[in-house]
Amino acid sequence: MAVDWQLAAFLILSVLEIGGSIMVVTAKKLVHAVFWLALTLVTIGGIYLLFLSEFLFLIQILVYAGAVPVLFLFGIMLTRRKIMEEVTPGEVLEGPGEAPREGLP
Amino acid sequence: MSGALVSPDLFTLCKVLITGIMKIQSDAILAGAPVGSPVEPLRGLAYFLMEDWFLTFNAWMIAITIMVTWAAAIQLLTMMWIERKFYSRLQDRYGIMISIWSLPFWPFSWWAKRRNKPTHRGLGYLQNVADGVKLLQKENITPANADSAMFHTAPVLIASSTVMIFAALPFSEGFVIANMPMSLLFILAAFSLAPLGILIAGWASNNKYTLIGGMRAAAQLMAYEIPLLLAVVALLMYAGSLNVIDIVHKQEALLVMLGPIPIPAWNVFSIPQFIGFAVFLVAIMAEMERIPFDIPEAEAELVEGWLTEYSGMRFGLLFGFKWLRALAGSALVVILYLGGWSGPVFVTLTPAVGATVIPIPIIPHEVWFLLKVYLLFLLFVWVSWSVPRVRIDQILNIGWKRLIPLSLLAILLAAYLAALGPALGGIR
């Protein structure tokens, strides 16, 4: 039984990559999208490795997996979109379940 | 000359070992299942055990297991023990002292009672094992509003990227899993994967402290990655190779005789590389998140930083990974600047087994390497328990405004001296 392991690896990597890149554009939360982007970039690095270009693979990991998603995350977090499901104190007080307290400042 | 215990390399050693074991099993099966006997189909199993791909696969598995056990279990415990013991001594106390006789079950408790052994006056080496067992027993709590999938992915991401370093990090010429032509780049790439995991861990906990801690950690790690890599670029002008084993070989040459003592050509003994060494030392300390640069998890202001919400063994994994990174970082400094595993060997034992003489070095390469790593780690511990914490803006200022220009200066000097050093009378 001769299994073409390279082909198998290529197929697995491509499936991960295509799935990851679809998830990048469909993910609801931006941080999830960045996570999927990192996965996509790493699998692209894996495909470079299959082409026997190790240097490109390592640079891909170093730059595109280590640095670029972190920069994206910084961008997302610093632009102050709603990044956590945080409840502001005002919402809690005016919520339906909470009776308005009197006498409090 | 000196020698390594593991030679020619770990994989070959494991291959010989597994081939011997499988040969014994295969021969036993073949002897027990002669042709024509009712168990004859077992002969197929015997031939399968001796197949080359099976042996190779098993040899790789054993090599990886040996390396992970060695690095992630034994060395991790040793590093934690060194740190706890040493900072206790710096604070004028004894530190952990639980001895093995305090174990509350049969041989130990019985022997301790019989021989009146002191239970709390030992080395304390097993204290970290006890702490690990305690963490294993604790409940894993996931915060109610946390992003569960990401929260559970982050420790895996961080721990696996850290263990990945040890695929290429050599403890001696032979004690390495994969000797790649670009292993230095591989180690640095694996080192640089952690900030993503840290940021995700901080975000997914859905807690302001962890988010601030994660942001700070990522900002700091990103800022210090650049001087780290630039210092390595300056080093590569001299080394001319991205393979860590080649880099160490290059440093084994003789620099100068200081009386009777030969001084090896370690990279730290040259002018530009010394600047690079200083930059690398500070940057790797920041990468390890040791105390002058531990603002991402400053206990007094951020509880425990980005790992506040983790509990149980997830916390243990993230907590232990810091020491694994410290081990990898110290090992990297030793390999790049301090001559790696090269060192004098005083006497070599040569026992004769039959007709062949096997030389066994009394101080093998691995011991020299570990000695240097431990000494460097002691320096790190000393610094981190003696100086106050640096503020986050100061950390980034040091990284961007001081270390990057210094490392650029190191690159310039290294390029100049690598080209013109021989013409200037051998200045390096």
The mean pLDDT value of chain B amounts to 84
pLDDT of residue B42: 82
In a domain, A86, yes or no: no
Q: Does B322 reside within a domain?
A: yes
Does residue B322 surpass a pLDDT of 60?
yes
Q: Are residues B105 and B203 in the same domain?
A: no
Mutant choice from B192, B215, B242 vs A, greatest count of A C-beta within 10 A: B192
B181 and B119 assigned to the same domain: no
Which pair of structure tokens corresponds to residue B99?
């001895």
Distance CA B237, CA B408 (A): 13
Examine the domain organization and report whether B106 and B199 are in the same domain.
no
Which CATH number is A24's domain given?
Answer: 1.20.120.1200
Residue B99 to residues B127, B193, B277: CA-CA distances in angstroms? Answer: 8, 38, 39
Whether A70 sits inside 8 A of B203 (CB atoms) is no
Helix ranges restricted to H, B50-193: 52-68, 76-90, 106-115, 127-137, 148-168, 183-191
Contact A55 B182 (CB under 8 A): yes
Tell whether B247 and B198 lie within a shared domain.
Answer: yes
Q: How confident is the model at residue A18 (pLDDT cuts 50, 70, 90)?
A: very high
pLDDT in tens, A39-54: 899 899 999 988 888 8
Residue keyed to tokens 């990227």: B161
Handedness of CA A81, A84, A90, A94 (dihedral sign): positive
In a domain, A92, yes or no: no
- Whether A38 maps to a domain, the answer reads yes
Beta carbons of A35 and B200 less than 8 Å apart:
yes
Structural domain boundaries enclosing B267: 75-92+151-424
Chains A and B: how many Cβ contacts under 8 Å? 66
pLDDT digits (tens, 9 = 90+) for B156-178: 888 888 888 888 888 888 888 88
Our count of domains for chain A comes to: 1
DSSP B229-295: HHHHHHHHHHH--S-HHHHHHHHTSEEEEETTEEEE--GGGSHHHHHHHHHHHHHHHHHTT-GGG-G
Contacts of A62 in chain B (CB under 8 A): 185, 188-189, 192
What's the confidence (pLDDT) of residue A86?
52
Which residue, among B53, B161, B199, B207, would best test binding to A if mutated, counting the most A CBs under 10 Å from its CB? B199
Query: Where residue B201 falls among pLDDT bands split at 50, 70, 90?
Result: confident
3-state helix, strand, coil in chain B (%, to 5): 65, 5, 30
Same domain, B309 and B417: yes
Q: Which residues pair with B263 in a beta bridge?
A: B256
What's the alpha-carbon Rg for chain A, to the nearest Å?
22
> How many domains does chain B fold into?
2
pLDDT at B300: 66
| Same-domain check for residues B103 and B191 | no
Residue of A28, A61, A80, A86 for testing the chain B interface, max B β-carbons within 10 Å:
A61
Q: Select, from the ranges B75-84, B93-102, B362-371, the one with the highest average predicted confidence (pLDDT).
A: B75-84
Element (H, E) at B403: none
The pLDDT score that the predictor gives to residue A93 is: 44
Q: Which of A83-97, B265-279, B343-357 has the highest mean pLDDT?
A: B265-279
Q: Using a CB–CB cutoff of 8 Å, tell me whether B186 touches chain A.
A: yes
pLDDT at B374: 92
In a domain, B30, yes or no: no
Q: In what helix (H) or strand (E) does residue B196 lie, and over which residues does it extend? A: helix B194-204
Shared domain for B280 and B164, answered yes or no, is: yes
Listed range (B50-59, B209-218, B222-231) with the worst mean pLDDT: B209-218
B208 neighbourhood in chain A, CB within 8 Å: 84
Taking CB atoms and an 8 Å limit, are B200 and A31 in contact across chains? yes
The burial class, CB within 10 Å (0-12 / 13-18 / 19+), for B205 is: buried
Give the DSSP letter string of B133-163.
HHHHHS-----TTS-HHHHHHHHHHHHHHHH
CB of B224 less than 8 A from some CB of A:
no
Q: Are residues B268 and B356 in the same domain?
A: yes
Q: Which residue has the higher pLDDT, A22 or B10?
A: A22
Domain that holds residue A68: 7-81
The reply to whether A65 falls in a domain is: yes
Residue B359: is the preceding peptide bond cis (ω within 30°)?
no
Of A7-21, A70-84, B65-79, B130-144, the one with minimum mean pLDDT is A70-84
CB atoms within 10 A of CB B92: 6
Residue A66 resides in a domain: yes
Q: What is the pLDDT of residues B17-38, one digit of tens each?
A: 899 999 998 888 888 887 777 7
Mutate to test the interface with B, among A84, A85, A86 (most CBs of B within 10 A): A84
Same domain, B155 and B264: yes
Show the tokens assigned to B201: 């861990």
The verdict on B100 and B88 lying in the same domain is: no
A20 in contact with B at a CB cutoff of 8 Å?
Answer: no
Q: Are residues B272 and B254 in the same domain?
A: yes
Q: What is the mean pLDDT of residues A15-36?
A: 88
Q: Under an 8 A CB cutoff, do A84 and B206 touch?
A: yes
Percentage of chain B modeled with pLDDT above 90: 9
pLDDT tens for each residue of B114-165: 887 777 777 888 888 888 888 888 888 888 877 788 888 888 888 888 888 8
- For residues A61 and B187, give the distance between their C-alpha atoms in angstroms, rounded to a whole number: 11
Q: For residue B208, give how far its alpha carbon lies from the nearest alpha carbon of chain A (Å).
A: 9
For residues B295 and B388, membership in a common domain is answered with: yes
Decide if A54 and B182 are in contact by the 8 Å CB cutoff.
Answer: yes
C-alpha to C-alpha distances, A43 to A40, A64, A69, B114, B149, nearest whole angstrom: 5, 11, 14, 61, 20
Asked if B187 has any chain A CB less than 8 Å from its own CB, the reply is no
